Structure 1
Amino acid sequence: MDIAEDGVRDVCTDAVFERGERYLAESRIHEIHRVDSTVTAVVSGSHQYDVRVELATDGFAPWCDCPYDGPGACKHVVAVLLRCVDDPPSDEGNQLDAALDGADADELRAFLRDELVTDADLRDRFLARVGEPTRQSVDELRTSIDRRFEETNPEYHVVFVPIDFTQWFDLANEYRDQGRYASAATVYRALIESLDDNMERVDGAYDHFSRAFSRALDGYVDCVATAERDADAITDAVAFLNERATSGTPFLAEHFEKAAVELREKLGEQSDE
């Protein structure tokens, strides 16, 4: 899958692009892998940072666990993208497919079950993929998201670096793909509540957390509007958004208010039908 240097420049500032070029030239990229369009790597800076990009997605959906808080992608992401321009890693997808094709069905089932028993996140995604509704409440999901904030900087209340919320967004997307919008809305609401309540702890990577909040809020509104044909259910969602607008993080209030207006408009459209 080919990408061009101009596409990399579009996702970062000129200064970051130059630093990414330097990091690539200094051979700071380690353990780079590609499966289909997903590239993961470890890039060394002041620490070892994990990087993930999606080559088939507009803007590459970059993620890095470094504390960069500027506009666009960070230098670690840029270095990895430039490596993909100059010397893309080989796709390991065919090897994976061949291994799956050659695996004994019973052995594969036993392996998968063993992994599902010990990995709750994988188990949730699997159940979503096969069409099961969410087995967790908003509060239960929130607990696991809140724990990520606690684990990021256990010695201090402040969070300086980005947190990877991919597992919850992937779970919500899985439910949406299966048409289970109410379950997806439950996941989005847990993300919204956790991000809102923990935003005061954030002291770095503000763009990262703001993007995650906006993505969760947009997903919640879309899923509630799609899933709930019951006017009372949408009214409850509007009440939740209005309550958060007054009790939550002040600079997020406007976002909650706009989301509530959007849902009220959906309610009005249903009343006219």
Structure 2
Amino acid sequence: MDVTEDAVRDICTDAVFERGERYLAEGRIHEIHRVDTTVTAVVSGSRQYDVRVDLATGGFAPWCDCPYDGPGACKHVVAVLLRCVDDPPSDNGDRLDAALGGADADELRAFLRDELATDTDLRDRFLARVGEPMRQSVDELRTSIDRRFEETNPEYHVVFEPIDFTQWFDLANEHREQGRAASAATVYRALTESLDENMERVDGAYDHFSRAFSRALDGYVDCVAATERDADAVTDAVAFLTERAVSGTPFLAEHFEKAAVELQEKIDEQSCK
């Protein structure tokens, strides 16, 4: 996707666009890097914020760990995108490809194994890519996600700033791309449960958490529907959604109710084909 000022304006408010312009002019962007279409950067504000955008995705799939919860993208994202309009960072994709192409296979294998041994996120995605089904349960995944809420603001119960759930969404997507809908559904359900349980402690960045919840819930329904031959899984999913509508966070009840109805309709449509 071409990065133009008009395209950036489309994803933010006029006020945020102006603040993003000011941040760029003030030189607040640091450590900006690009690999293929993914750009990452650090933008200084009241503290240092991590930003990530995808130049090839409609809307740029922006992510920032600032507490902004207004409509559209934040000023840090806008500043980075405007930098890409005026002075795009060089693409390191070819450099990586060249390094990989010239690497010794045994050394590369040893390096990868060392990294996989210590980086659980990378290890999970690697195993998903090479064909391993999900072995973690919903409860085990939820423990990791819940921990992120605890670590975000350890001194208080309240969560003020966004949490990056990318590692779990990427893991679910990897399983989906490999045709393992049941494994992806496990990840989406863990995300849905954790967000539901922790939503009432959120006091800021509401749009961020609401979008993450909706994305996880939609993914769960889609993946369960893709496993329509597993009647027990479908029955369990509908029961889970119905129960959550009653016992979960009150303002999310309607979302669970609609999801239960949508899943049942998907299954009924498939059974009629």
User: In structure 2, what is the equivalent of residue 185 of structure 1?
Assistant: 185
User: In structure 2, what is the equivalent of residue 224 of structure 1?
Assistant: 224
Percent of residue pairs identical: 88
**SS of equivalent to 1:136:** coil
Within a 5 Å distance, the mapping from 1:1-273 to structure 2 comes to 2-273=2-273
Question: Could you tell me whether the CA contact under 8 Å between 1:185 and 1:223 is conserved in 2?
Answer: yes
Q: Deviations over 1:179-229 (max 9, x none)?
A: 000000000000000000000010000000000000000000000000231
Q: Equivalents in 1 of 2:233, 2:38: separation in Å?
A: 38
TM-score normalised by L of structure 2:
0.98
Question: Could you tell me whether the CA contact under 8 Å between 1:180 and 1:227 is conserved in 2?
Answer: no
TM-aligned CA distance change 1:2 to 1:264, over 3 Å: closer
Question: Could you tell me whether the CA contact under 8 Å between 2:228 and 2:267 is conserved in 1?
Answer: no
Q: Equivalents in 2 of 1:266, 1:48: separation in Å?
A: 45
Q: Equivalents in 2 of 1:270, 1:34: separation in Å?
A: 43
**SS of equivalent to 2:226:** helix
**SS of equivalent to 1:227:** coil
Cα RMSD after superposing both structures = 0.9
Residue type of the alignment partner of 1:70: G
Residue 233 of structure 1: how far off its partner (Å): 2.0
Question: Could you tell me whether the CA contact under 8 Å between 1:12 and 1:74 is conserved in 2?
Answer: yes
Residue 14 of structure 1: how far off its partner (Å): 0.1
Q: Equivalents in 2 of 1:156, 1:191: separation in Å?
A: 22
How many residue pairs get aligned? The number is 273
Q: Deviations over 1:15-56 (max 9, x none)?
A: 000000000000000000000000000000110000000000
TM-score normalised by L of structure 1:
0.98
Residue type of the alignment partner of 1:103: A
Q: Equivalents in 1 of 2:3, 2:69: separation in Å?
A: 25
Q: Structure 1 residues 227-236 or 21-30, which shifts more?
A: 227-236
**SS of equivalent to 2:51:** strand
Unpaired runs of 5+ residues, structure 1, are none
Q: Equivalents in 2 of 1:2, 1:225: separation in Å?
A: 35
Q: Equivalents in 2 of 1:3, 1:114: separation in Å?
A: 38
Residue 231 of structure 1: how far off its partner (Å): 2.6
**SS of equivalent to 1:41:** strand
Q: Equivalents in 1 of 2:233, 2:193: separation in Å?
A: 18
Residue 78 of structure 1: how far off its partner (Å): 0.2
**SS of equivalent to 2:173:** helix
Question: Could you tell me whether the CA contact under 8 Å between 1:34 and 1:90 is conserved in 2?
Answer: yes
Q: Deviations over 1:34-91 (max 9, x none)?
A: 0000000000011000000000000001000111110000000000000000000000
